Amino acid sequence: MARKVLIAGNWKMNLNHLEAIALVQKIAFSLPEKYYAKVDVTVLPPFTDIRSVQTLTDGDKLLLTYGAQDLSPNDSGAYTGDISGPMLAKLGCTYVTIGHSERREYHAESDELVNKKVRAALKHALSPILCVGEPLEVREAGGQIEHTTNQLVAGLKGLKAEQVKNVVVAYEPVWAIGTGRVATPADAEEVCAALRATLAEKYGSEIADDVRVLYGGSVKSGNIGDLVKCENIDGALVGGASLDADEFTKLCALAAGGPLP
Ligand SMILES: O=C[C@H](O)COP(=O)(O)O
């Protein structure tokens, strides 16, 4: 088992393309190359920023990668406002977030649609970051494992084991997103371990050992160290803290085991 830690900065609907360039430049300048041996760093800007981020990372041969926050289940056609897998692949994206709770809630995305999007991503060699997570009332009733493992199984429906290998799973309890209320490492590990056990059950332990399972929800430099120490947590999907270059750099360095740059 040699899973490399992944820190993914989900910018959500923040920063225009000029601000995106400034932030990526700052991160690249602040995080020395040696850290990338231990941690994969990726940023997930809004669609309108991706071309600028691509030009910068290609031009300066930066070691960080980038991706998108969503994609269409379709490759092309009359789907006003949507962005397709082939478009993201052409822009050099590595990852695409799928099924984030904000999309499930504000865009009524069902497990079925999430599954179609996961397939679309894999079809175009993009690694889906499949998000699962329970709302507060489910956590309070103790249903977090059932809820998240059901979302995982539905999101991966119909995929072959060798496809699942390229998926990243992100456990984001809805009650911990943007609230400052982070799950304890033990709470996060409990669910991440259950997600991995489900992967092992369905696709075999070799695949389950390879898949990275991230935690997301109020992750900061102050808590990343304890989270990545957990056996089944392989990094983080970071929202707010990924918009601040100093904080994000610190977080990436600590996820790599330190020391601070
Ligand atoms: O995708 C990221 C998550 O929604 C977490 O956001 P947050 O770090 O601002 O709580």
Cβ–ligand 1 contact at 239 (below 6 Å) = yes
Instruction: Compute the CA torsion angle 197, 157, 105, 169 (nearest 10 deg).
Output: 40
Kindly report the protein residue whose alpha carbon is nearest to atom 2 of ligand 1. Answer: 239
Please give the distance, rounded to the nearest whole angstrom, from the Cα atom of residue 188 to the centre of ligand 1: 14
Asked if residue 42 has pLDDT above 80, the reply is yes
Work out the mean pLDDT of the chain and round it to a whole number.
97
How much of the chain exceeds pLDDT 90, in percent?
95
Please give the distance, rounded to the nearest whole angstrom, from the Cα atom of residue 161 to the centre of ligand 1: 29
Which two three-digit tokens encode residue 147? 């809820």
Q: How many residues does the chain have?
A: 261
SS3 200: helix
Cβ–ligand 1 contact at 172 (below 6 Å) = yes
Are the beta carbons of 178 and 195 closer than 8 angstroms? Answer: no
Q: Is 202 annotated as a binding residue?
A: no
How far is it, in rounded angstroms, from Cα 39 to Cα 35? 6
Q: Is 240 annotated as a binding residue?
A: yes
Are the beta carbons of 24 and 59 closer than 8 angstroms? Answer: no
Which two three-digit tokens encode residue 222? 């102050």
Cβ–ligand 1 contact at 57 (below 6 Å) = no
How far is it, in rounded angstroms, from Cα 245 to Cα 32? 13
Please give the distance, rounded to the nearest whole angstrom, from the Cα atom of residue 33 to the centre of ligand 1: 26
Q: Note the pTM of the prediction, 2 decimals.
A: 0.97
pLDDT in tens, 89-124: 999 999 999 999 999 999 999 999 999 999 999 999
Q: Which residues are catalytic?
A: 100, 172
List, as one string, the DSSP characters of 137-202. Answer: HHHHTT-HHHHHHHHHHHHTTT--HHHHTT-EEEE--GGGTTSS-PPPHHHHHHHHHHHHHHHHHH
- Average pLDDT of the residues in 136-162: 97
Say what the pLDDT of residue 231 is: 97
Say what the pLDDT of residue 258 is: 86
pLDDT in tens, 214-259: 999 999 999 999 999 999 999 999 999 999 999 999 999 999 998 8
Atom of ligand 1 nearest to the CA of 10: 1
Please give the distance, rounded to the nearest whole angstrom, from the Cα atom of residue 12 to the centre of ligand 1: 9
Q: Is the peptide bond before 32 cis (omega within 30 degrees of 0)?
A: no
Cβ–ligand 1 contact at 148 (below 6 Å) = no
Strand-strand pairing, 127-132 and 235-238: unpaired
Compute CA distances 29 → 136, 234, 251, 261, whole Å: 39, 24, 15, 11
Residue 44 CB burial class (10 angstroms; 0-12, 13-18, ≥19) = buried
Atom of ligand 1 nearest to the CA of 102: 4
Are the beta carbons of 150 and 130 closer than 8 angstroms? Answer: no
Cβ–ligand 1 contact at 178 (below 6 Å) = yes
pLDDT in tens, 44-54: 999 999 999 99
Cβ–ligand 1 contact at 133 (below 6 Å) = no
Please give the distance, rounded to the nearest whole angstrom, from the Cα atom of residue 214 to the centre of ligand 1: 12
Say what the pLDDT of residue 253 is: 98
Cβ–ligand 1 contact at 131 (below 6 Å) = no
ipTM surpassing 0.95:
yes
Q: pLDDT category, 65, cuts 50, 70, 90? A: very high
How far is it, in rounded angstroms, from Cα 259 to Cα 261? 6
Kindly report the protein residue whose alpha carbon is nearest to atom 3 of ligand 1. Answer: 239
Q: Which residues pair with 6 in a beta bridge?
A: 40, 235
Asked if residue 180 has pLDDT above 90, the reply is no
Q: Is 77 annotated as a binding residue?
A: no
